[in-house]
């Protein structure tokens, strides 16, 4: 049983979904603190003028602690604006219609009130499109112990994981010994080596929303990933 535990992001890049595809269970770690100007509520798309951010407006408690799962979205007007921006900048992409038919409804009706719910909804929709069959669930469904590394190790134990797959940046702070004590091996995910594809608007950029890959490559999107 392979498990990854990561905070939810808004329409994440292809590497995020490659990580999901590499495991059996993917836990959205939204009991963590919401951080402003981060990937939780925004992501990039390409435009003729360069990269631009799509940011979901949220109601923040300022300097008070606020979890991602408790972060409420500020209204629904943003959804039409985001879709208009996506449509304007990707309408010329060869597989835009396929992408639009799949994702437009998420921007037109049943807009969730909370950021975590929105992210989970879109992440699951992308997984369905890419035929990623990992179970996507929430850390809120589990008992959480204290301590950053201890909490992750305990989550792995609760789901019966043999391997915990982590992003490489965690090497600086993850206490691997706590995983070893629970019989869980830690594996570092490699985000390098992705092939390029025909992409609109100038110099190629890997670090954009997965909607870019889907719009430009359609059903062949998995060919430009490593684990799908």
Question: In whole angstroms, how far apart are CA 134 and each of 2, 33, 174, 222?
Answer: 10, 25, 24, 15
Looking at residue 114, the DSSP 8-state letter turns out to be B
Question: In whole angstroms, how far apart are CA 86 and each of 94, 104, 194, 203, 210?
Answer: 14, 10, 23, 19, 12
pLDDT of residue 62: 67
The torsion angle over the Cα atoms of residues 169, 171, 172 and 177, rounded to 10 degrees, is 150
Token pair, residue 114, equals 């909370």
pTM reported for the whole predicted model: 0.96
- What residue ranges do the domains of the chain occupy? 2-141+192-224
Provide the residue-wise pLDDT of the chain in tens; the chain has 228 residues: 999 999 999 999 999 999 999 999 999 999 999 998 899 999 999 999 999 999 999 998 766 789 999 999 999 999 999 999 999 999 999 999 999 999 999 999 999 999 999 999 999 999 999 999 999 999 999 999 999 999 999 999 999 999 999 999 999 999 999 999 999 999 999 999 999 999 999 999 999 999 999 999 999 999 999 998
């Amino acid at each position: 049983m392979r498990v990854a535990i990561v905070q939810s992001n808004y329409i994440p890049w292809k590497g995020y979904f490659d990580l999901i595809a590499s495991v059996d269970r993917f836990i959205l770690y939204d009991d963590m603190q919401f951080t402003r100007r981060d990937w939780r509520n925004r992501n990039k798309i390409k435009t003729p003028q360069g990269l631009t951010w799509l940011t979901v407006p949220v109601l923040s408690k300022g300097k008070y602690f606020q979890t991602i799962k408790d972060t409420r979205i500020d209204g629904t007007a943003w959804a039409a604006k985001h879709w208009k921006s996506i449509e304007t900048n990707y309408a010329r992409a060869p597989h835009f219609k396929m992408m639009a038919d799949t994702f437009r409804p998420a921007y037109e009706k049943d807009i969730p009130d909370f950021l975590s719910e929105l992210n989970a909804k879109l992440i699951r929709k992308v997984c369905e499109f890419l035929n990623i069959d990992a179970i996507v669930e929430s850390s809120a469904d589990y008992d959480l112990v204290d301590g950053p590394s201890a909490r992750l190790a305990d989550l792995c134990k609760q789901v019966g994981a043999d391997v915990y797959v982590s992003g490489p940046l965690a090497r600086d702070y993850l206490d691997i010994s706590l995983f070893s004590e629970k019989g869980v091996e830690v594996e570092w995910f490699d985000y390098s080596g992705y092939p390029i594809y025909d992409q609109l608007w100038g110099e190629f950029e890997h670090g954009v929303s997965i909607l870019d890959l889907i719009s430009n490559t359609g059903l062949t999107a998995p060919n430009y990933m490593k684990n799908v």
